[in-house]
Structure 1
């Protein structure tokens, strides 16, 4: 995929998680930087967010963080990034992350990660963007989500092509090859419609 320059990573801010998720975040940050891809993420220094950012920076990568003021006030922002944008709201944060990214990777995370994942998948379904979305099912973490998405389709609440909106992979080393298999985006994001 020739247009791939910056990749948005959605992931958890908790540090009290299985070490395999931390290892995956570190491996992904390193892999992005080694391939010359910039990282766009939520701007935090804690949990998987901090790990993926630190790994990308350590490998010489560019890292853009976008954090809302109310989260920055909790003193969780990462101060060593290439760029840190402090914004007025979660809505502004998510819009900027979409604008700055050519693809999206979803690592394990909590409610915030689910919110971002469902929003970016829904926006693709609504044709607000056509950028690749990769869900990294590390250690089967996202299996319940896979089951739910199948249930949506089976019960008629998910369109027949719902599984064309995203790609599941089970290992970090499968993420970048999966991104390259996705068709190149054909449309720009219309931020006025977000």
Structure 2
């Protein structure tokens, strides 16, 4: 199956429902036979994601900069842990090692990763599917703003359409799998 990179929060102070979503996502990816590619952390949603995947028999690949390894937040249980010299090189490897991208709720780091793969897709540097999981309308305000930006010609409609949106993880994975086949 595919290597699917999941962008999500690594905060230690999240509500349990977000951790549960991430854990269920990891389990669903593993159940469907996909490898989980993550930012290589063991905390927050990122930690729950990889724990869920491994508990369901899935394979995990973590990509993390040395600075975060030094903070002792690396997912040392990863089947493959790649240590980079910077956040920028981390993102490059995440794109290279993945067949598709799934974005769960998150903060600035998650948005940075989403916009990196979205921007490079608009430049035709890759043609890998990208899906945002808009659980409980988490991303609705951002998506509304991006539609307005598109309406004002700052983003071409074709560029906007390079990212798909789903309200649930199973629907998001169905979208990815339909694109990969």
2:120 is the counterpart of 1:123: yes
SS at match of 1:161: helix
Specify every segment of 5 or more residues in structure 1 that has no aligned partner in the other structure, as ranges: 185-194
After the TM superposition, which residues 44-193 of structure 1 pair with which residues of structure 2 at under 5 Å, given as runs?
44-182=41-179
RMSD in angstroms over aligned alpha carbons? 1.2
SS at match of 2:72: coil
TM-score (norm 1): 0.89
* Partner of residue 37, structure 2: 40
Q: Distance in 1 between matches of 2:140 and 2:13?
A: 20
**Structure 1 residues 84 and 25: alpha-carbon distance in aligned structure 2, compared to 1, 3 A threshold:** same
Structure number with the higher helix fraction is: 2
- Tell me if structure 2 keeps the 8 A contact 1:21–1:138: no
Structure 1 residue 171: Cα displacement: 1.0
Residue number among 23, 30, 36 corresponding to 2:27 in the alignment? 30
* Partner of residue 14, structure 1: 11
TM-score (norm 2): 0.95
- How many residues get paired? 181
Q: Deviations over 1:6-54 (max 9, x none)?
A: 0000100013223332222111100111111001110000000000000
Structure 1 residue 183: Cα displacement: 5.9
Specify every segment of 5 or more residues in structure 2 that has no aligned partner in the other structure, as ranges: none
- Tell me if structure 2 keeps the 8 A contact 1:67–1:87: yes
